[in-house]
């Protein structure tokens, strides 16, 4: 099946620092999504990207859909303690029908005050 390689696996940063994480795939995806998951909760959608080259922001979060459609990155600027969690990229190859999302393994963000 399709696989997403997400990196880094974990990040230990100081409050106020910027964060960058990315996902790559050997397959083309037509939709890239970024989710955040906190312990005991379901994934929460942060940003959705639908078009190659698209750059979208949501507050301090910025994500881009790579030109090749095989990668995406998520940046978080000026991190704050509530940014702690696991960030997942997810892709969908809309070959028709309601295809499921393929998730990356997640980036665990830990912020030291």
Stretch that binds another protein, among 9-17, 19-27, 55-63, 85-93 (CB under 8 A): 85-93
Residue pair 22/107 in contact (Cβ under 8 Å)? The answer is no
* Phi, psi (rounded to 5 degrees) for 83: -75, -10
Residue 73: CB atoms within 10 A of its CB come to 18
What's the min distance (Å) between Cβ of 86 and another protein? 10
Q: How far is CA 9 from CA 67, 93, 108, in A?
A: 24, 24, 6
Residue of 50, 51, 53, 80 that binds another protein (CB under 8 A): 50
Q: By CB under 8 A, tell whether 111 contacts another protein.
A: no
Q: By CB under 8 A, tell whether 65 contacts another protein.
A: no
Residue pair 54/65 in contact (Cβ under 8 Å)? The answer is yes
What's the min distance (Å) between Cβ of 41 and another protein? 6
What does the binding site for another protein look like in residue numbers (CB under 8 A)?
Answer: 1, 31, 33, 35, 40-45, 48, 50, 88, 90, 92, 94, 97-106
């Amino acid at each position: 099946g399709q696989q997403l390689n997400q990196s880094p696996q974990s990040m230990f940063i100081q409050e106020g620092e910027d964060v960058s994480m990315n996902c790559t795939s050997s397959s083309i995806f037509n939709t890239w999504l970024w989710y955040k998951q906190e312990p005991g909760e379901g994934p929460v959608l942060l940003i959705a990207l639908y078009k190659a080259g698209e750059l979208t922001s949501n507050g301090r979060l910025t994500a881009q859909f790579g030109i090749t459609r095989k990668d995406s990155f998520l940046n978080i600027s000026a991190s704050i303690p509530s940014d702690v969690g696991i960030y997942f990229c997810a892709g969908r190859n809309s070959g028709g029908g309601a295809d499921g999302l393929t998730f990356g393994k997640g980036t665990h963000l830990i912020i030291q005050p």
